[in-house]
Every structure is written in C-alpha cells, then in structure tokens.
A and B are shown apart, each in its own frame.
Chain A
C-alpha cells in the first residue's frame, strides 16, 4: 500500500461555505481551498506571488480571492487581475497562482495532487444524497492510520486509497482519506444517503465513533510495518 499522486479529498463540502477560504495540506504541501460566490471550488498553492502571504487568509469577493496582505485580487484561473496600490495598471498575465484541479463530489472537496496531471476523477461511487458526519484530523501517519483502521473495522479500500468504506457496528460509512502530511491524516466521513435518512442521532454516534478512533490511533504505537514519516508501507517482514 502506498499513496501517490492522484485525487484526494481535502474537506467536507459543507465545511467550505460560499465566499470563504480555508487552508489545508496534501502530502505536506500547503493548499488554499476556496469556494466562489456561485459555489465553485478551487484548490491553489497557499501563497500569494507578491509577498508569500497565505491566500487562505484572504477574502473571497464574487469570483475572486484577494490576498489579506496587500489586496491583490486573483480570478478563478489564478491570474492576478487587480492591484489596489496600482489601480490603473494592466496586470501582466504572468502574475498568477499555481492552481490544482479541484471538484465537488460525494459531499467532499477533491483536488488532484499534481499540478500538471490531467486525469479525471473516477470514483466507484456516485451519489448526490450525502449526509456529512465530520472531518477528523489525526496525528498519525497515513499508512499507519489506514492499517489501524483496517485492523479495527471491516473496511474496503476504494479509489486507490482515497476512499474507505467502513462497517463499524450497525453503521456503514464512507471516509475520504487525505494524506495530510507524513505524520498526519485527515478523514472526511459521510453517510451515503440523505440527511433525513441519517438524522442527528445516527450522525452523532458516528462522530463519537470517529472521536474514539482518533483517540486510539494517537495513543497506539505506530505499527512497525508503517515507518513514521513515510507514505509507503515497509516491505513485508516475516
């Protein structure tokens, strides 16, 4: 098992409201995710080309995001369109932010980890009725998290490791798997079905299950088949 370039979920869709931005990481790279006023999602390098300020601290206005520091405004393609200190300037097209492919699917915001990769997002499940539970950020390496999860619950790994179908007790959940960094993993947990099918009690008990999972993962020693700081499992040792 290893994690490599491809599509990964980086947030629950309902956590990223229109006209807001947030910072996250994928494979330790700092990413700004933001949703424009029309609901479109974007994943960019979290760095303003001007002075390096995190764009995730910026303000979304309509179809642009403005840097908190000096207000440079970028359109949805990442191109700088307006510099407040020089309002008359025709901003060169070369001033732009690196943008990643990004899409809203299965109640999660997905991004492609490779700037130049042009592979479509191909998920084995395609549902629009999703009941979000919660995102869980665990101080545990991605491979170790995956192994511990598989050991404690009946799991099916899908989409190359980016999705896990979890059967825990009476509950069937789907978790989006985000290799946040070498020592940190995020799980974005949803139920397949409408929020009416999964009322507050069901989602609350799933959230409690997730909390307990995190508690256990952070307390357990890292298995020796999952070296800390690696995105790959160690070779089999008998």
Chain B
C-alpha cells in the first residue's frame, strides 16, 4: 500500500553528494522523491511508495556516501505526495 512520508536526515553533509545518493536509491526502489531542503546539517526529502520500500530507502540513505555522515534520521507521514516516480526537485 502506497504511503507518503517526509524523511529527515541530520548530520554532516556535502549536499550535492548526498542528494545524488538519495536520487540513486529512490530510482532503484521505484520511489517518487522530492527534496524539500538540503543544507550542510539537515536534508528533508518527501517520498512515496510501499511501506517496506520506504523502510529500505530510509535505511539505505542512513548509510550515506563516504563524504557524508548521518547522525540521525526519522520519518513522518505526510499527505502531499511527490508528483511522479523518480521525480527529483529541490526546494519547498
């Protein structure tokens, strides 16, 4: 069953590197994803898909690329879904 959620990653990021990492994982899992904000300490992503795949996405992204460190991550259900699979837009 499709769910919509916003995932927050907290840590130390090279935003471009982490966003590319996120994009690859979302594409691999066929998840719609849109970046709401991306800074050096927090990345906020909206994703939609099966709950198991959202779990997989969150866990996979928590590992992060070599130049980023994820210290914490959590997810909250939201109502607004990203528009399409593989969509990748930055900003609110």
Contact = CB atoms under 8 A, between A and B. Distances in A.
Interface of A: 49, 83, 86, 89-90, 92-95
B16 interface: no
Contacts of B14: none
Size range of the chain B interface in the assembly: under 10
B79 to A, nearest CB: 23
18 contacts: A49-B28, A83-B52, A86-B52, A89-B50, A89-B52, A89-B53, A90-B50, A92-B29, A92-B30, A92-B53, A93-B30, A94-B27, A94-B28, A94-B29, A94-B30, A95-B28, A95-B29, A95-B30
Contacts of A49: 28
Nearest to B55: A86
Query: What are the 4 tightest A-B residue pairs by CB atom distance, in nearest-first order?
Result: A92-B30, A86-B52, A94-B30, A89-B52
A90 B29 CA distance: 11
Contacts of A94: 27-30
Contacts of B53: 89, 92
Contacts, number: 18
Interface of B: 27-30, 50, 52-53
Contacts of A93: 30
Contacts of B50: 89-90
For chain B, what secondary structure do more than half of its interface residues adopt (helix, strand, loop), or is it mixed? helix
Nearest to B49: A92
Contacts of A92: 29-30, 53
Contacts of B52: 83, 86, 89
Contacts of B28: 49, 94-95
Given A89-B52, A90-B50, A94-B28, 4 more contacts: A83-B52, A89-B50, A89-B53, A95-B29
A95 B27 CA distance: 9
A83 B55 CA distance: 14
Nearest to A95: B28
Contacts of A95: 28-30
A168 B30 CA distance: 56
B53 to A, nearest CB: 7
A193 B62 CA distance: 58
Nearest to A85: B52
A80 to B, nearest CB: 10
The residue among A90, A94, A95 with the most chain B CB atoms within 10 A of its own CB is A94
